[in-house]
Structure 1
């Protein structure tokens, strides 16, 4: 049997219309532009208004990625939507499939928070390598503004909304060169969005738990410590599996959580700052959307070119983290 490879051939992204900058945030909570930007690198973020949905952002990003890859929705075999904030708790991927008109595609959601896109990339590759599917659409999208406590300055300054997508296709040469994925549920309480149960008595002797989800809770110091320690390790393991030395990397593409984390990881790997892709200044932390959103911007600015080798790493709630080494094969 001939080995089937994977190529990433197109990217797209979408951001909401509304913009909220640090100065405007200082009218809501006790903070300032200097405080936020010096500690996070973020100056503004885009927020979905009442007319925008996860489905609409994901669909827009997907159409741009399909156009760049020069294929149509009818060519898609599989759609994976990496998100923690679906429009429907039962899943939003099928809605995206319908909006796109991707008639033959099977679609499902994947939840791994800020690691979702990296986990999704590895998952999509396995479907292609096995020969089951040829064309896969992977979307990372989140609307975290739905679940932010806008009175908590520790978290509300960090998050934004957006979507990004890539097209993966079967190819003769494999451009997904190596990966490493990890999880550690013992640290779940460092970053979560918990369900808050309330007792509801159905009949005598039968009480169930009903309620809703609470806003995002985060221990910033622990998350920073976790990311700075674990992300360089997982990238090194992925590079080892890819049989590539760190100096061969053209771009370091990390989950856009905090500029201090990006700088610290690059420093530990001895990767110069000019090789680090960063756009969180304008978008903040968009969870599963952050890596494909940053990738698409870099591609369309002609920073990332066909043949470039990228080390990408996602990390966040779960706690989950992972890295993937791939060669960009788009425009």
Structure 2
């Protein structure tokens, strides 16, 4: 009998420092005034008001807001690292599953970016957990969670391992100058899941990954000097054509990934009970709903609470959906994520008995809506 592999537990860990648009208005008023000519304004610039492109349609309502719908972001505090967030999420996921480090057979880490460029966080995570399991790093930018879910489930189904700990994290704040308007919508975070043997019919049913090679060059990265003259690793907007491809290819990437995952799982779009999209913008969940022709109530977006937390978005959206009881046992869930300069992908999961880690502290601005100013 084939082994079924799926989620056993899920946990997230946001960082401690909160930033809202008020922070930039107070500290960088001149940048806010010139926002439309800066990085974020150019990245999400208005097109034709009569455009039929679904991305443009859903973005239109946010173009009068210089922050493009950002409500709040959470970023690493002075004493925090991606590893410290990953470690907290991993321990919470293990505790929720009633497991210890010795129950894990392998550890996969998708850190974007890790605390050190080489080697990545995986082996350090194993050390700090006290786990003897082999640990290695995955990298697929913002789609690292979907790639990790496919990899972990495949290893379990193949009989190589019984339980795999998958950890994802994002540290955009360390790659951006706080005066760069890109920092207005990018934050940090981490998530972890135990993926192992689960009873039929639950588990990962089918996955489809595709290349996003058309976006190569969309972001530039390298070492530069900060305001104190110290070398730092920075990310900035890159080639305008590649940046345009991120928007123009978005609908096709979603459709191709979702169609492929549904076919691999042997189910139809109308069979899906709930949808999880990584939500790098305030309008991305509604964009995905429009493209797939589904009711927006069948998904959710954590963007108002966290902003764009890259590789941590998938786990965070999934956790909040499960915590809000939007995904009951037996529900079919389609999970989709897109990463620039890497992959896009979807996976179909039948939700089982998934234990959740403790909820994060409540948001102090949750009453605010991520709507146009």
The CA deviation string for residues 274-325 of structure 1, in whole angstroms up to 9 with x for no partner, is 1112111110111111110121122223222222211111112214211111
Within-5 A mapping of 1:112-123 = 112-123=140-151
Tell me which residue corresponds to 1:290: 313
Alignment gaps of 5+ in structure 2 = 36-61, 225-230, 356-373
Residue 72 of structure 1 and its aligned partner are, at CA, apart by 1.7
Q: Higher strand proportion, which one? A: 1
How many residues were matched structurally?
314
Tell me, what secondary structure is at the counterpart of 1:43? coil
2:209 alignment partner, SS class: strand
Aligned to 2:3: 4
Partners of 1:196 and 1:39 lie apart in 2 by: 27
Task: Give the TM-score normalised by structure 2.
Answer: 0.78
Corresponding residue number in structure 2 for 1:61: 89
Give the aligned partner of residue 227 of structure 1: 250
Alignment of 1:289-308 (within 5 A): 289-308=312-331
Residue pair 1:36, 1:157 contacting (<8 A) in 2 also: no
Contact kept? 1:9, 1:328, Cα under 8 Å = no
Pair 1:214-2:234 in alignment? yes
* 1:36, distance to aligned residue in structure 2 (A): 8.0
Note the C-alpha offset of 1:225: 2.2
Equivalent residue, structure 2, for 1:94: 123
CA distance in 2, matches of 1:66, 1:36: 44
Do structure 1's residue 156 and structure 2's residue 183 form an aligned pair? Answer: yes
CA distance in 2, matches of 1:76, 1:36: 49
Tell me, yes or no, if the aligned pair for 1:36 and 1:42 is still in contact at 8 Å: no
Deviates more, 1:46-55 or 1:225-234: 225-234
Contact 1:3 1:172 in 2 (8 A): no
Taking structure 1 as the reference length, what is the TM-score of the superposition?
Answer: 0.88
Unaligned runs of 5+ in 1: 198-210
What is the rounded CA distance, in whole Å, between the counterparts of 1:67 and 1:303 in structure 2? Answer: 23
Aligned counterpart, 1:13? 12
How big is the alpha-carbon RMSD for the aligned residues of Structure 1 and Structure 2? 2.3
The Cα offsets for residues 167-210 of structure 1, whole Å up to 9 and x where unpaired, read as: 101234252111101113342112x342359xxxxxxxxxxxxx
Once the two structures are superposed, what CA deviation does each residue of 1:123-180 show, in whole Å capped at 9, x if it has no partner? 1111111101000111110111000133332x22221000011110123425211110
- What's the offset of the Cα at 1:212? 6.3
